[in-house]
Amino acid sequence: MSHSASTSTTDEKSRGETATLHALTIMEPYATCIINGPKRLENRTYPLDIQKLISESKFGIQDDKKDGSGVWIAIHASSSQRMLRPNDPTCSIIRFQCWSELPSLDLMKRNCGKIIGVAKFFACLKSEEVSDDNVWKGGDYEGGGGNRGRKKQQYCWMIEEVKALETPIECKGNVGIWYLDENIANQIWKEIKKSFYGFGMRNLGIKQRRVKYIDL
């Protein structure tokens, strides 16, 4: 299953500002499928530089073991409810093919425009490197305009672990990878870190430092 993606942009005034946590806006029902369901990849038409995010993020994790590295990214449910409309087949397809326990439309509508959790991204693969048996893998994307009819490279951003917020936090979203306001980031981690098996962030190797804006 896939949804529309866009290249990363941000307001000019945010360039050079510091931030503590990356965020990614995803349309419902896909945001809920990641944080509360079994979806463990995000389909995009551009790659995610995991190592760059690990090196620059306050919440990047770099372990000696190859499979222990990753970066925590806040998942923001888009304010758009286009895929939650009664005449849109997306939710019905997901319930039939992917996740029969998909929550109600009313619940997902309440999530729109809010941070609903965080996900640990550990790899970025070309779609052809992911098994076709994975029901969440997106199909071929054809570009618009002068690129119409040309297949565009698809990427699967692989997710290892997720943590849901008990109380979603309302905020404005953006496209691509963006940075949360530091107050919101701290609010998220104040809640999330309690679930890390009783360990503090320092014990998990999460670097405590501020970073500058990066444009992916």
pLDDT along the chain (216 residues), means of 10: 42 42 96 98 96 73 58 96 97 97 98 97 96 90 53 93 95 94 88 60 35 29
pLDDT at position 136 is: 97
How far apart are alpha carbons 5 and 38 in whole angstroms? 21
52 contacts 94 by C-beta, under 8 angstroms: no
pLDDT at position 14 is: 40
How far apart are alpha carbons 70 and 206 in whole angstroms? 10
Pick the closest to residue 179 from 145, 213, 205 (CA basis): 213
Q: Is 135 a domain residue? A: no
Q: Tell me, what CATH number does 191's domain have?
A: 2.30.130.30
| pTM for the model | 0.78
Residue 97 belongs to domain spanning: 19-130+146-212
Q: Is 169 a domain residue? A: yes
Q: Is 208 a domain residue? A: yes
Q: Is 11 a domain residue? A: no
The total number of structural domains that make up the chain: 1
76 contacts 35 by C-beta, under 8 angstroms: no
pLDDT at position 150 is: 62
Q: Is 167 a domain residue? A: yes
CA distances from 168 to 32, 112, 164, 172 (A): 12, 10, 8, 13
How far apart are alpha carbons 72 and 75 in whole angstroms? 9
For residue 29, say if its preceding peptide bond is cis, omega within 30 degrees of 0.
Answer: yes
Q: Is 59 a domain residue? A: yes
Q: Is 104 a domain residue? A: yes
pLDDT at position 202 is: 36
